[in-house]
Structures are given as structure tokens and as C-alpha cells.
């Protein structure tokens, strides 16, 4: 009887963890496929106010890896540095020809940069 009670108690404690273990995308939320307002990179680069932070969505290509999580991004006309969030994961390969949509926060501190929270392959 004690073994059965102990087993059931352990199962109740582990159940939430096990349910998330099979849900690989539980952090992603909803993948919306409708229209989104895209911010041109030029408008970010033209913003000369220091400490200017705002949420942005940009579309284009990661053209070059600069560091482990730091890339050069191009919208086809202008380039800006983007830093991918440390815990961001993507299952497939991405190269300079892969069109992506990046959701993140634009920061104009020392150097204009977008801190990316979510990457969507187009």
C-alpha cells in the first residue's frame, strides 16, 4: 500500500513536467500567418535619438554570422546587426538565401541593433 501511494504521489508531481517534455513548441505561442506591419531597416538607421527602443518586425535575410548569436541582417536595401535570443532554437538550417521574419526590440545604444525574440522562416 505504501509503495502504491508513493508511486501515485510521484506521478502527480512529475505529470506537468512530462506533459511539457512532449510539447517541443510550448514556448512559441501562436504562429500567426496574417498581415504584419514590417519596419524598414532604413527607418531604424535614420532614427538618431540615443536610447531609442521599440518593438519591430523586419523581413529579409541573415547574410553573415558575426559571432555565436550575432548576425548581419539585410532587408534587401540596408543592413543592421541582430542578436538572436540565447534560448531561441530552430530545427532546420538557415543560410543567406533563407527569407526570415524577425520579431524583436530595436535598440540604438552604442550601435543600432535588433534583439530578436522570435524568428519565423518565410
Choose among 93, 50, 53, 96: nearest CA to 76.
96
Provide mean pLDDT across the span 61-83. 91
Q: How far apart are CA 98 and CA 74, in angstroms?
A: 11
pLDDT in tens, 20-60: 444 444 445 566 667 788 888 888 888 777 667 788 899 99
Q: Which domains does the chain have, with CATH numbers?
A: 41-121 (2.40.50.200)
High-pLDDT (> 70) share of the chain, %: 70
| Collapsed DSSP state (helix, strand, coil) of residue 30 | coil
**Least confident span in 9-18, 60-69, 110-119:** 9-18
**Predicted local distance difference test score (pLDDT) of residue 21:** 44
Q: What pLDDT does 120 receive? A: 85
- In this structure, what are the phi and psi dihedrals at residue 98, rounded to the nearest 5 degrees? -80, 120
What's the whole-number mean pLDDT along residues 87-95? 76
Amino acid at each position: 500500500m505504501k509503495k502504491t501511494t508513493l508511486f501515485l504521489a510521484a506521478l502527480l508531481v512529475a505529470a506537468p513536467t512530462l506533459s511539457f517534455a512532449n510539447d517541443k513548441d510550448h514556448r512559441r505561442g501562436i504562429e500567426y500567418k496574417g498581415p504584419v506591419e514590417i519596419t524598414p531597416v532604413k527607418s531604424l538607421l535614420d532614427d538618431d535619438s540615443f536610447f531609442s527602443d521599440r518593438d519591430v518586425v523586419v523581413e529579409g535575410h541573415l547574410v553573415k554570422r558575426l559571432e555565436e548569436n550575432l548576425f548581419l541582417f539585410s532587408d534587401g536595401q540596408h543592413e543592421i546587426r541582430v542578436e538572436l535570443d540565447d534560448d531561441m532554437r530552430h530545427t532546420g538550417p538557415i543560410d543567406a538565401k533563407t527569407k526570415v521574419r524577425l520579431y524583436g526590440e530595436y535598440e540604438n545604444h552604442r550601435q543600432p541593433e535588433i534583439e530578436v525574440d522570435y524568428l519565423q522562416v518565410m
